[in-house]
Structure 1
Amino acid sequence: MTVPFAQQVTFLYAEAPEACWRFYEEVLGLTLVRDQGSCRIYATVAGGQGYLGVCRARGPRATEDPRREGGVVVSLVHPDVEGWHARLLAAGVAVQGPPFHAAAYGVTSVFFRDPAGYTLEIQRFDRPMTEV
């Protein structure tokens, strides 16, 4: 068996995905790699094999709390959290506050929501992921 896996896709579901598609394409600038009609898949990692799928939901969300069972937080890693904070504000995105450093986790982050209400985070690690 080969580990790690060759690719990774996280799927999010929205009752009205069109607003999310515009958000991920226009605000976050993600590259659309596959349009399946009711689901679009975007590349999230430069030079990598990480993807985010945004699909039409078959029903309403089970929970609004991303840290409860059935919830999700999508974290995107980038060295310029402060720059992303400014870009999100300029695009009219309601962020959950300025970038902050969480010493317990060794990250600096900014949190916000997409048009379907999913929580997203742009974070920078104090140490590269290659360090344990």
Structure 2
Amino acid sequence: PAAIRFYEEVMGLPLAIDQGWSKIYRVTETGYVGLVDETRGSHRAHPVKPVQLCIRVRDVDAWYGYIAEQGVAALKEPRSHQELKIRAFVFDDPEGYQIEMQSALD
């Protein structure tokens, strides 16, 4: 499926646990994200995606350049948010879930 290819090939996340219809990917040493077959998991797919995955990175602008080269959907340019002390951009994964990549402002 497109989501598996996206998280493995575009995001570069290593598969930590393969349970067949549930795939768990390592984001950090202690952080993971799971993809579950919507016909088998406890939640069904829905056109409204009320979840955002936020990933903190060292260089948000470098990540933006990389993600832009991959041609992902709904990519927004990085913006600095002084109140939150972050610089961030968002885009959608192949299933329509929003991902935010952010770095701390110095």
TM-score (norm 1): 0.72
What residue is the counterpart of 1:56 in the other structure? 37
Structure 1 residue 104, shift from structure 2 partner: 1.7
What residue is the counterpart of 1:110 in the other structure? 89
Deviations 1:58-87 (A, max 9, x none): 3331624xxxxxx11111110111111111
What number of residue pairs does the alignment pair up?
A: 102
- The alignment's C-alpha RMSD in Å is 1.4
1:40 aligned onto 2:19: no
Moved over 4 A (4+): none
Structure 1 residue 95, shift from structure 2 partner: 4.3
TM-score (norm 2): 0.88
**8 Å CA contact retained: 2:75, 2:89:** yes
Unaligned runs of 5+ in 1: 1-17, 65-70, 128-132
